[in-house]
Structure 1
């Protein structure tokens, strides 16, 4: 009798938890849903009030948006920069983290502490110096200063180092060396597969950070055909597009699609990477 009562209580608690989680998911989804709905409505309909039904002004809103900015050019530029930043940062940060975790070299601790200190320094503080350096090197108004510096990501290195130390046992590396594998081969066939959940997690945040980066492209890019999507979206303020809320919502909706896709395909790795190493034998 008591066992049945305990089972009923557990089912009740589980049902309440699931209900709460579903309610929270709905609350989080509502802003995105309203953004998509308002992208299809006219300016007058949006000002008239809230509605769950899509409108019929999508083509008109897109025409207004396209007449003012080349949003697909900005989309392409942002995609190129964000993908390259994500790939390069993930690969070289993983290699650096592996080196800090399993190699001994002079000044290792000093370099790691310096890297931790750099995590606390806002990137905006070095913006003027970075601008002058880019100007001296002749790489202004190009994607190079937006992509290359992102290879050095202290936070990603720190996160991957902590992850790999809890998941990759040194005996695996020694076994690979005994089998005759070189150091680069060990990194690619032993370390990288184990680090994939953490790399995927960091790739999500790196991609989102690069996609939403507004200040650096605004300062370093001058040609309109090279502007990234956040810069183009910033130009919509005070323009005729801002007077058409439907067009503004449509532009925002287009800008968040890659972020939603990234979360859709990579979010499952977040739990794996966070929980890794939580249980030790």
Structure 2
């Protein structure tokens, strides 16, 4: 009986590993195709999809730079928006989550229900009104409309409330209060370290969303000096609308460059998720 159960457990585990392996390959396939296409010429791209790299990477990079593709400038603009927006989003969402979990007040359920309701509203619904509001505030060609909304991120608040509900221990906060710690000090010194895995998860999602955000910057920014990296890549395809051939190999090279910071951020922050999960498992 024990041997049969052990064999069944190994079979299930193997099946799970196989499923995860297939899902991982399917997730990586688009990136592999994009990287391969960034090394191929226009003629090779027209022949169809291939995972085999070409020999036109140098030519594609040269074409990329000939389109006035200021890599350093675009990278700085995108990084500035993504880093500041993500930092504000994670910090303010954690502060709101702490208030909703640690304190009891009359409108607590109403506030949380309002946060959940905001998640249900598609962002596209408010774009026109937001654009008109920014015109009235004279904030076009400005990074403020791309950064400040990150302070109110309903999805991040919802996630951190649910996560904090699993790690919050009232005794830690009470002990800190007895030692004379202020509420902000308790939040910074006690609660934030406990929330590291959740904060890292939201930081990854927030950074990816802000870095890849294209439609909102396209609506608000017309000054080329303020273009983000995705906007600079898009200008290459727009040039093809005038009858010129679009160098898609160069476009894929630009897209490959844009995803590099996302991968770096993920590799940096993922260790906090793994470390936090390991610490939680040891504690349990």
Fold match (TM-score > 0.5): yes
Aligned to 1:92: 92
Calculate the TM-score normalised by the size of structure 1: 0.87
Aligned to 1:172: 172
Q: What secondary structure is seen at the aligned counterpart in 1 of 2:195?
A: helix
Contact 1:38–1:46 (8 Å) recurs in 2: yes
Contact 2:196–2:273 (8 Å) recurs in 1: no
Query: Partners of 2:158 and 2:203 in 1: how far apart?
Result: 14
Query: Partners of 1:228 and 1:213 in 2: how far apart?
Result: 9
Query: Partners of 1:166 and 1:11 in 2: how far apart?
Result: 30
Aligned to 1:220: 220
Distance of aligned partners of 1:273 and 1:213 in 2 relative to their CA distance in 1, 3 Å threshold: farther
Aligned to 2:129: 129
Q: What secondary structure is seen at the aligned counterpart in 1 of 2:55?
A: coil
1:143 and 2:139 equivalent? no
Distance of aligned partners of 1:273 and 1:163 in 2 relative to their CA distance in 1, 3 Å threshold: farther
Query: Partners of 1:166 and 1:78 in 2: how far apart?
Result: 34
Contact 1:163–1:276 (8 Å) recurs in 2: no
Contact 1:62–1:250 (8 Å) recurs in 2: yes
Contact 1:166–1:277 (8 Å) recurs in 2: no
Distance of aligned partners of 1:38 and 1:118 in 2 relative to their CA distance in 1, 3 Å threshold: same
Contact 2:236–2:246 (8 Å) recurs in 1: no
Count of residue pairs brought into register by the alignment:
278
CA RMSD of aligned residues (A): 2.9
Aligned to 1:35: 34
Q: What secondary structure is seen at the aligned counterpart in 1 of 2:239?
A: coil
Contact 2:93–2:157 (8 Å) recurs in 1: yes
Aligned to 2:254: 251
**Where do 5+ consecutive residues of structure 2 fail to align?**
none
* Segment of structure 1 superposing worse, 236-245 or 25-34: 236-245
1:263 and 2:277 equivalent? no
* Segment of structure 1 superposing worse, 12-21 or 83-92: 12-21
1:63-105 per-residue CA deviation (whole Å, 9 max, x = no partner) reads 2122224251222211110111111110111111111211234
